[in-house]
Amino acid sequence: MKKLRWVFILFLALLLFIPSYVKTIQQGKLLSGVTVVLDSGHGGKDLGASDGGVDEAPLNLAITKKLEAKLKTLGCQVILTRKDENDLASITAVNRKKEDMNKRISIINDEKNDLFISIHMNKYQSEDVKGFHVFYKDDASKMLASYIQEKGNVVLEQDKTITKGNFFILNESRIQGVLIECGFLSNPDDRKKLTSESYQNKIVDCIADSLVDYFESKGMS
Ligand SMILES: [Zn+2]
């Protein structure tokens, strides 16, 4: 009888465990079959925007790496342009910036990629301007941009609208994509938040959740 009781307890434990296990597996597959390129802006000698002792390039990389890890847990295939603090130009490059940008474009333009996200930080002459702002490449990228901006507005408690961007990476790429200015280094409040792990994680979760909603809306996940 004692043995039977243990079998029963084991059976009950399995019943409790299986639904959460299945849910975990399903969640892990939300972005399976999707390939996203993450482009961490600047790198090498080009530190991007700088203000209050904070440089843009390392922050872009920190957020990109966190986003890469998060998207991978969702089953997404992730391709990085810049993988470390260096830019993509070769040692012998005559024009580093040009070679770096061209290499990024050729990575992005691979036809197996679904979309790309370029990560940047903003700066403005007035320190009052702040916030998370999504720029889109073209009409085909507008919906993706709206998903990310709207989620960002809720999670980061602000109210911004998407803008058509005029950036080399958006102009020269052939697949849909967005450039995200995660915040303003010239605004003391944004600058403090952007260097904190918790705020970086908020941004990462916001982008990842938006991608899940976006692909779900397109019936791809
Ligand atoms: Zn930048």
Distance 167 CA to ligand 1 centre (A): 10
Token digits of residue 22:
């299945």
pLDDT tens-digit series, residues 115-171: 999 999 999 999 999 999 999 999 999 999 999 999 999 999 999 999 999 999 999
Instruction: Give the pLDDT of residue 9.
Output: 67
Distance 93 CA to ligand 1 centre (A): 21
Distance 32 CA to ligand 1 centre (A): 30
Distance 172 CA to ligand 1 centre (A): 16
pLDDT tens-digit series, residues 50-87: 999 999 999 999 999 999 999 999 999 999 999 999 99
pLDDT tens-digit series, residues 169-215: 999 999 999 999 999 999 999 999 999 999 999 999 999 999 999 99
Domains of the chain and CATH, by start:
1-28 (no CATH), 31-217 (3.40.630.40)
Distance 127 CA to ligand 1 centre (A): 17
Q: How far apart are CA 57 and CA 44, in angstroms?
A: 8
**How many other β-carbons are positioned within 10 Å of the β-carbon of residue 216?**
12
Q: What is the pTM of this model?
A: 0.87
Distance 47 CA to ligand 1 centre (A): 8
Instruction: Give the pLDDT of residue 4.
Output: 73
Distance 115 CA to ligand 1 centre (A): 19
Which amino acid belongs to residue 218?
Answer: K
Distance 48 CA to ligand 1 centre (A): 5
Q: Specify the higher pLDDT residue, 160 or 221.
A: 160
Distance 58 CA to ligand 1 centre (A): 11
Distance 191 CA to ligand 1 centre (A): 14
Token digits of residue 94:
């005559």
The torsion angles phi and psi of 7, rounded to 5 degrees, stand at -60, -40
Q: How far apart are CA 88 and CA 100, in angstroms?
A: 5
Distance 182 CA to ligand 1 centre (A): 10
Q: How far apart are CA 108 and CA 113, in angstroms?
A: 7
Structural contact between residues 28 and 73, judged by C-beta atoms closer than 8 angstroms? yes
Q: Which residue in the block uniquely carries the two structure tokens 């809306």?
A: 217
Q: How far apart are CA 66 and CA 205, in angstroms?
A: 9
Instruction: Give the pLDDT of residue 219.
Output: 84
Give ∠ CA 34-208-88 in degrees, rounded to 5.
70
Instruction: Give the pLDDT of residue 6.
Output: 74
Report the half-sphere exposure of 88 (CA within 13 A, side-chain side): 18
Instruction: Give the pLDDT of residue 77.
Output: 98
Structural contact between residues 109 and 67, judged by C-beta atoms closer than 8 angstroms? no
Within 8 A by CB and 6+ apart from 1, the residues are: none
Furthest CA-CA distance within the chain: 82
Distance 1 CA to ligand 1 centre (A): 70
Q: Where are the beta strands (DSSP E) in 105-220?
A: 115-122, 133-136, 163-164, 177-184
Distance 85 CA to ligand 1 centre (A): 14
Token digits of residue 219:
């019936």
pLDDT tens-digit series, residues 5-52: 777 767 666 666 665 555 555 555 899 999 999 999 999 999 999 999
